[in-house]
Amino acid sequence: MSGQDDEKHDHAHEHDESCEHDHEEGGDDIVTLVDAEGNEIDHYWLGLVELDEEQFALLCPIDELDEESESTNVYVYHYEEDEDGAESFEAVEDEALLARVQAAAEAMFTEDGEE
């Protein structure tokens, strides 16, 4: 996972709660978020981190994925699912919280890689 500095976490657009999430076991998970201007932006669902009884989705915009690059921008969103299954994503702006989520995510991916 790439480092998450101010430049990589300065979201160019705000996402509202509108999204479509095609989450299939073993498949390519795609989340479509809608920004404030109504633009649909597809993201790869990379994982879910639980921290302090909150859930954080790790997403990578498909159009930013560069297979030749050694690093990939990963964006962190508060993630919630209501009793009807509707999902909501809210950008995390707190740098200290981002650092904690990043550390938890790196530990999670390191454990997965060792199995």
| Beta strands per DSSP E along the chain | 15-22, 30-35, 40-51, 54-61, 75-81, 87-91
Is 64 a residue whose pLDDT tops 50? Answer: yes
Q: Which pLDDT score, from 0 to 100, does residue 7 have?
A: 32
Residues 102, 109 contacting (CB under 8 angstroms) = no
Question: Whole-model pTM?
Answer: 0.68
Distance CA 103, CA 106 (A): 5
Averaged over 47-59, what is the pLDDT? 94
